[in-house]
Amino acid sequence: MTTATNVAVNVAITGAAGRMGRTLVELASRTPGLALSAAFERPDAPQIGLDAGLLTGAGALGVSLISGEDLSKGTFDVLVDFTAPVVSMANVAQCRALQRAIVIGTTGVGMDRARLEEAARDIPIVWAPNMSVGVNLCFKLLELAAHVLGDEVDVEIIEAHHRHKVDAPSGTALRMGEVVAKALDRDLAQCAVYGREGQTGARDRKTIGFATIRAGEIVGDHTVLFAGAGERVEITHRAEKRATFASGALRAAQWLAQQPPGLYDMQDVLGLRA
């Protein structure tokens, strides 16, 4: 792996022909300290063989899309992966065998945390449900708000995404719930309420509610509401474009290239870990 700070980090993008992949390719090609060295796609993708830069409209970059079935065909220090849980975990296994670092922004990978921890004994891994710098700052603010407000408030989490998003609540909303629950010494699995309907009775203050919206082209909105007697505090993050997440992931890639094996998240990348 790259260790000298004055040497560009060779980064590879998998899922490079997708919406997020194209954004990552475009940003990586113009980010100081990074060099786009490989671009991967599924083996049956029609874009295989095309220059990755042409897919973004940025012009040829001299990096052609190749099959991600065998990552050893590409040269890279860090792989950036926004694909699907099964694909991401297969890429983790390949990176472990190749002794390469990997940044994972795939929703749902947290279900395989034990496997991530096992692989992280040998390689550096950054996994986060949301790569946005602003969202990760919000995680820290939520922890502080929960500690200060304590059990004197009701906590509700409202999230909205585009109509094509297939999971609900979002991984980011769930992580926000986990942060608040931990600060309040609660178990989210026991206190979460996912939607309400009918005669539900009075609200239990110990619960943490989730509400989900799927509509249009909303990139990603998250609000955590702390409602008490006579006042409420709202912490909100709104993502306006996918470049927000791509920028954070590439920042993580630069940071990760200098780290020893271990499982990290964006709190580590941004120096927000208490």
Token couple for 95: 């990176």
Contacts of 105 (CB under 8 A, 6+ apart): 20, 80, 81, 82, 127, 128, 130, 131, 245, 249
Q: Is residue 164 annotated as a catalytic residue, yes or no?
A: no
Q: Is residue 165 annotated as a catalytic residue, yes or no?
A: yes
Q: Does the reported pTM lie above 0.85?
A: no
Topology given in CATH for the domain delimited by 133-239? Dihydrodipicolinate Reductase; domain 2 (3.30.360)
Q: Which residue in the list 140, 161, 206, 237 is annotated as catalytic?
A: 161
pLDDT 10s per residue in the chain (274 long)?
Answer: 444 446 799 999 999 999 899 999 999 999 999 999 999 999 999 999 999 999 988 789 999 999 999 999 999 999 999 998 999 999 999 999 999 999 999 877 777 889 999 999 999 999 987 899 999 999 999 999 999 999 999 999 999 999 998 889 998 999 999 999 999 999 999 999 998 999 999 999 999 999 999 999 999 999 999 999 999 999 999 999 888 999 999 999 999 999 999 999 999 999 987 6
pLDDT attached to residue 166:
85
pLDDT attached to residue 1:
46
pLDDT attached to residue 109:
79
Secondary structure (3-state) at 165: coil
The CATH homologous superfamily for domain 9-131+242-269 is NAD(P)-binding Rossmann-like Domain (3.40.50.720)
pLDDT attached to residue 6:
61
Structure-token match 């600060």, residue found: 183
Structure-token match 């926004």, residue found: 82
Domain boundaries, the chain: 9-131+242-269, 133-239
pLDDT attached to residue 33:
94
Give every strand in the sheet of 78-81, ordered side by side.
Answer: 65-67, 34-41, 9-14, 78-81, 101-104, 124-127, 262-264
The one-letter amino acid at 192: A
Q: Which residue in the list 73, 140, 162, 165 is annotated as catalytic?
A: 165
Contacts of 167 (CB under 8 A, 6+ apart): 107, 108
- Strands of the chain, DSSP E: 9-14, 34-41, 65-67, 78-81, 101-104, 124-127, 154-161, 192-194, 208-214, 220-227, 232-239, 262-264
pLDDT attached to residue 39:
97
What gap in Å lies between CA 247 and CA 251, rounded to an integer?
Answer: 6
Q: Are 135 and 222 in contact (CB under 8 A)?
A: yes
pLDDT attached to residue 10:
97
